[in-house]
């Protein structure tokens, strides 16, 4: 009962108007543009360039500070559109010496849509990728075309983490997220050398973007909601985050009962389809130096509404503050090697968050 009351306390705190103007103002500084439906961006090393930008149709592009060129082209293998496509890439921690990187993409084979997590290698000079070097680590059949998750990201333990959606349609009709034998609706941990896969956490609808706080190692995740709630979770191994029994802190399936015992509810949520919102985009805990007042706050946004928020922890009590209103389609955030944050606009640009 106490957990249920706490859930309603969270709902009351997060479903009302967020505080505006409590923090100093931010602005967006255009870093690069001209990309075709970019959905992700990442860096391969300690420097600030090059920036690798993932285009949904199947290409990875490099921006070197002046020009844009193609690093990898998988467009002949990828089925894109809607929530499908080439969705992310992650560089091995020893990429500079072993040239290994990993991608997540959707492909249709014999009429069956599948999600692939594959390893590729770059050329000896790291200037281009070898599209023929693919080594498939994981294949997951997708029963529907949506809720593909799509992020691959290395964790502090050196493992590759993969966010998998529940397989699509609405309200998880196949009950994948709560099925311990299914890899759908899960956070997976993959060993990059052996390709061994384990279910690390469960109960997700569509974990579009997640990240690790570089200071604490905690995983923060934005899970896209159905009709009522977009949620932010702090994800820990072995926990169940409730979908599709719960949508955020709300009961989603009263016919089966919504006892939250054994479920981990979100640290924050907001109403979907209000103020233009439709889909949460998880971000990063800010650990840069250029915006001192933002340090330690988790920055995230909404794809449709274009809002960017900061989430602060005060002794286990979380509060959300609006940082920016934009006219961008917030597809992803990226963390520079120095801890500064970038925003990826699905419309074609990459922006840096800076003090106004």
- Identify the sign of the CA torsion 27, 29, 33, 37: negative
- The tally of CA atoms less than 13 A away on the side-chain side of residue 292 is 0
Q: What is the pLDDT of residue 46?
A: 74
User: In this structure, how many other beta carbons lie within 10 angstroms of the beta carbon of residue 289?
Assistant: 10
Q: What is the mean pLDDT of the chain?
A: 93
Q: What is the pLDDT of residue 25?
A: 81
Q: Are 279 and 301 in contact (CB under 8 A)?
A: no
Dist. CA 75–CA 77, nearest whole Å: 5
- Can you name the residues that pair with 104 across neighbouring β-strands? 88, 117
The Cα 264–Cα 235 span in angstroms is 9
Cα–Cα dist 132/77, whole Å: 12
d(CA 96, CA 240): 36
For residue 213 the two structure tokens come to 């706080």
Give strand pairing partners of 311.
Answer: 298, 320
Contacts of residue 293, defined as CB under 8 A and 6 or more positions apart, other chains included, come to 23, 24
**Eight-state DSSP code of residue 101:** E
pLDDT reported for residue 22: 62
**CATH code at 2-355:** 2.120.10.30
Break the chain into its structural domains and give their ranges: 2-355
List, as own/partner pairs, every contact residues 296-300 make where C-beta atoms lie below 8 angstroms and the sequence separation is at least 24, other chains included: 296/215, 298/213, 298/220, 298/232, 299/323, 299/333, 299/341, 299/353, 300/220, 300/222, 300/232, 300/333
Which residues share a beta bridge with 202? Answer: 186, 240
What pLDDT is attached to residue 13? Answer: 36
Q: CA–CA separation, 297 vs 285, rounded Å? A: 5
Q: What is the pLDDT along the chain (356 residues), one digit of tens a residue?
A: 223 223 323 333 343 334 444 678 899 999 999 999 999 999 998 777 799 999 999 999 999 999 999 999 999 999 999 999 999 999 999 999 999 999 999 999 999 999 999 999 999 999 999 999 999 999 999 999 999 999 999 999 999 999 999 999 999 999 999 999 999 999 999 999 999 999 999 999 999 999 999 999 999 999 999 999 999 999 999 999 999 999 999 999 998 889 889 999 999 999 999 999 999 999 999 999 999 999 999 999 999 999 999 999 998 899 999 999 999 999 999 999 999 999 999 999 999 999 98
What is the per-residue burial (b if ≥16 Cβ within 10 Å, else e) of 19-57?
eeeebeebebeebbeebebbbbbbbbeeeeebbbbbbbb
Q: State the pLDDT at residue 51.
A: 96
Query: pLDDT, tens digit, for every residue of 309-333?
Result: 999 999 889 999 999 999 999 999 9
Return the closest-CA partner of residue 36 out of 17, 58, 14, 21: 58
Element spanning 343, H or E = strand 341-345
């Amino acid at each position: 009962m106490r957990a249920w009351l706490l859930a309603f306390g969270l709902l009351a705190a997060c479903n009302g108007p967020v505080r505006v103007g409590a923090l100093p103002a931010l602005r967006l500084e255009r870093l690069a543009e001209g990309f075709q439906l970019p959905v992700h961006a990442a860096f391969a090393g300690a420097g600030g360039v090059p920036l690798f930008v993932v285009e949904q149709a199947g290409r990875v592009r490099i921006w070197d500070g002046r020009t844009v060129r193609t690093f990898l082209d998988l467009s002949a293998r990828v089925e894109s559109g809607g929530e499908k496509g080439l969705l992310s890439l992650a560089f091995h921690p020893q990429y500079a010496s072993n040239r290994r990187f990993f991608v997540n993409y959707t492909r249709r084979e014999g009429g069956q849509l599948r999600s692939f997590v594959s390893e590729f290698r770059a050329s000896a000079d790291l200037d281009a990728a070898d599209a023929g070097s693919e080594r498939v680590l994981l294949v997951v059949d997708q029963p529907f075309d949506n809720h593909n998750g799509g992020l691959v990201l290395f964790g502090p333990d050196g493992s590759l983490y993969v966010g998998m959606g529940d397989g699509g349609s609405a309200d998880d009709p196949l009950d994948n997220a709560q099925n311990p034998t299914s890899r759908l609706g899960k956070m997976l941990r993959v060993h990059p050398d052996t390709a061994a896969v384990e279910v690390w956490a469960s109960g997700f609808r569509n974990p579009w973007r997640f990240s690790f706080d570089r200071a604490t190692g905690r995983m923060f995740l934005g899970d896209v909601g159905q009709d009522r709630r977009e949620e932010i979770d702090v994800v820990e191994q072995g926990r169940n985050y409730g979908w599709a029994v719960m949508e955020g802190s709300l009961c989603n399936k009263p016919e089966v009962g919504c006892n939250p015992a054994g479920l981990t509810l979100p640290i924050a949520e907001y109403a979907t389809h209000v103020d233009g919102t439709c889909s949460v985009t998880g971000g990063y805990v800010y650990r840069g130096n250029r915006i001192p007042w933002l340090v330690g706050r988790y920055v995230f946004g909404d794809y449709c509404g274009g809002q960017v928020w900061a989430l602060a922890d005060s002794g286990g009590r979380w509060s959300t503050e609006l940082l920016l209103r934009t006219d961008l389609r917030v597809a992803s955030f990226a963390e520079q090697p120095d801890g500064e944050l970038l925003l990826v606009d699905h419309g074609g640009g990459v922006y840096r968050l800076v003090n106004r």
